[in-house]
Amino acid sequence: MDFALTDEQRRIQDAIRDFGEREVKPYAAAWDRDEAFPREVVARLGALGFLGLGLPPDVGGRGADALACALVVEGVARYDASLGLTVASHAGLASGHINQFASDAMRRRYLPRLARGEWLGAWCLTEPGSGSDAAGLCTRAVRDADGWLLTGTKMFITQGSVGHVYVVLASTAPELGQRGISAFVVERDTPGLRSGRKIEKLGLRASDTAEVILDNVRVPPGQLIGEENRGYKQALRILDGGRISIAAWCHGIGRGALEESIAYVRERRRCPSPALRGMESTLAEMAMRLEAGRVLLCRAAHLKDAGRPFRAAASMAKLVCSEATMWATTRAVQFQGGASAGRDQPVERYLRDAKLGEIGEGTSEMQRRVIARALLSGGLPTL
Ligand SMILES: Cc1cc2nc3c(=O)[nH]c(=O)nc-3n(C[C@H](O)[C@H](O)[C@H](O)COP(=O)(O)OP(=O)(O)OC[C@H]3O[C@@H](n4cnc5c(N)ncnc54)[C@H](O)[C@@H]3O)c2cc1C
């Protein structure tokens, strides 16, 4: 069992840290304050190849493994969770879905531009009336002589108002329930597609989250991704990989909280006080919880790359990483007492941002259900 990163993974980790220090860290607080989506920085991530890292070379990617992709999300989220979420949803969900399930023609049309960050992808599953119960979606796609007509509203969509390419899950055979859902690619300027309300959020204020409204959107037959009525299965597969990504995203935030806390305790040590012992013990616990999550995420990524079942492993990684990060960011704020409350303090932003880890791409309750289901069916791989 080798816990070391490969040379390539190490290079990617160093490169993204360097990028984060120079291009993200100095501006993240202002982006959060102003709810500003940093388009130019996203474009630079694309130009440097970070947005297409996991895509195959024939569509402009570098064919990197799941752990390398997770290191990029983690590295960006370490400095700005909003930007990290953009990378995770653009690369892992939208581009990932097209790469894994779309026709070659569609892959060649969309992926090179998505890989370079010239176009941004959005992945549209959630609706006002269906989140955890994703199969209960109401968006309809009706076939006619010219293709498909899509109608419905998507909710909480990352890149919902800044995206160029939307992967949309819609019901093509309502009587079949989850077996009657299909996936489509819809381009931004297709008549009838528009962004609705932009969601103001507790955290992740620099991430673009909006409703996406489809009002009789006509798409040609070639915009169907893969086979008709296979969209829900595709979405579940995409979410499996997405959960590794979100685990890494959480770990990045948690890592930030730990580093800030270490710096704070070092500073406090200059004037010894009885509070220090408790703080040191909390630091140890932060590190331990975060590291436990990271080991699980490395394992899930390893199973994915090995082509082995990894659904429950990804859920475990996301669950442990998100809860560890929520704990660590809460502690980091507590450490600094009143001083942490200032909007110029990164730890208060980390705490607000961390909450999404327990909600997005399946809530903690849903992860527990996935793990329990695997346990009860005897399908949980162990070491
Ligand atoms: C910042 C942000 C970005 C997002 N980006 C995207 C995106 O790009 N694309 C996209 O499609 N979606 C996106 N989402 C949506 C996200 O995936 C959903 O919010 C999430 O799946 C939860 O769904 P919900 O909000 O409808 O909550 P609900 O499903 O209504 O859940 C509410 C509560 O009930 C619990 N609950 C529900 N069902 C059960 C059950 N059966 N057993 C036990 N407990 C249950 C949940 O765990 C939760 O605590 C985003 C959300 C946020 C906040």
Q: Under a CB-based contact definition with an 8 Å cutoff, are residues 184 and 116 in contact? A: no
Q: Under a CB-based contact definition with an 8 Å cutoff, are residues 184 and 141 in contact? A: yes
Residue 157 has pLDDT above 80, yes or no: yes
CATH number, span 7-120: 1.10.540.10
pLDDT for 383 equals: 67
| Cα 134 to ligand 1 centroid, rounded to whole Å | 9
Residue 188 has pLDDT above 90, yes or no: yes
* Mean pLDDT, residues 376-381: 81
| Cα 363 to ligand 1 centroid, rounded to whole Å | 6
pLDDT one-digit tens code per residue, 74-119: 999 999 999 999 999 999 999 999 999 999 999 999 999 999 999 9
| Cα 374 to ligand 1 centroid, rounded to whole Å | 21
pLDDT for 370 equals: 96
Which tokens is 241 given? 């990989």
| Residue 210: half-sphere exposure toward Cβ, Cα within 13 Å | 20
- CATH class label, 232-376: mainly alpha
Measured CA to CA in angstroms, residue 295 lies from 288, 308, 318, 348, 350 at distances of 11, 17, 11, 26, 22
Specify the residue with its C-alpha closest to ligand 1, atom 37.
132
Domain ranges of the chain: 7-120, 122-229, 232-376
Measured CA to CA in angstroms, residue 76 lies from 27, 63, 246, 347 at distances of 13, 19, 12, 16
| Cα 23 to ligand 1 centroid, rounded to whole Å | 31
**φ and ψ at 106, to 5 degrees?**
-70, -40
* Mean pLDDT, residues 142-151: 96
Which tokens is 242 given? 């997405």
* Mean pLDDT, residues 30-43: 97
Three-point CA angle 46, 50, 52, nearest 5°: 80
Per DSSP, which regions of the chain are E strands?
121-124, 140-144, 147-158, 165-171, 181-187, 193-198, 209-219, 224-225
| Cα 315 to ligand 1 centroid, rounded to whole Å | 15
Residue 381 has pLDDT above 70, yes or no: no
Catalytic residue among 187, 200, 361, 365: 361
Q: Where are the alpha helices (DSSP H) in 306-362?
A: 311-335, 346-354
| Residue 174: half-sphere exposure toward Cβ, Cα within 13 Å | 7
Q: Under a CB-based contact definition with an 8 Å cutoff, are residues 123 and 89 in contact? A: yes
Residue 67 has pLDDT above 80, yes or no: yes
Pocket test for ligand 1, best of 83, 249, 363 (most atoms within 8 A of CB): 363
- The atom number, within ligand 1, closest to the CA of 126 reads 11
Pocket test for ligand 1, best of 93, 359, 367, 373 (most atoms within 8 A of CB): 359
| Cα 132 to ligand 1 centroid, rounded to whole Å | 5
DSSP-derived letter for residue 146 is: T
Instruction: Return mean pLDDT, the chain.
Output: 96
Q: Under a CB-based contact definition with an 8 Å cutoff, are residues 249 and 84 in contact? A: yes
Q: Under a CB-based contact definition with an 8 Å cutoff, are residues 46 and 39 in contact? A: no
CA distance 313 to 380: 8
Specify the residue with its C-alpha closest to ligand 1, atom 27.
131
Percent of the chain with pLDDT over 70: 99
For 60, left (φ over 0), alpha (ψ -120 to 50), or beta?
Answer: left
DSSP-derived letter for residue 200 is: P
pLDDT for 343 equals: 72
Pocket of ligand 1 (CB under 6 A): 89, 123-126, 131-132, 156-158, 201, 204, 209, 356, 359-363, 365-366
Q: Residue 101 burial (CB < 10 Å; 0-12/13-18/19+)?
A: buried
CA distance 196 to 311: 33
> Which residues are bridge partners to 210 per DSSP?
157, 198
Query: What is 122-229's CATH topology?
Result: Butyryl-CoA Dehydrogenase, subunit A; domain 2 (2.40.110)
Pocket test for ligand 1, best of 89, 126, 167, 246 (most atoms within 8 A of CB): 126
**208-229 as b/e: b if 16+ CB within 10 A:** bbbbbbbeebebeeebbbbebb
pLDDT for 374 equals: 94
- Decide if 361 is catalytic: yes
Task: Count the residues in the chain.
Answer: 383
Torsion of CA 244, 261, 342, 345, to 10 degrees: -60
Which tokens is 230 given? 């296979």
pLDDT for 10 equals: 97
Three-point CA angle 318, 257, 331, nearest 5°: 90
- The atom number, within ligand 1, closest to the CA of 159 reads 8
Residue 211 has pLDDT above 90, yes or no: yes
Q: Under a CB-based contact definition with an 8 Å cutoff, are residues 90 and 132 in contact? A: no
Q: Residue 277 burial (CB < 10 Å; 0-12/13-18/19+)?
A: exposed
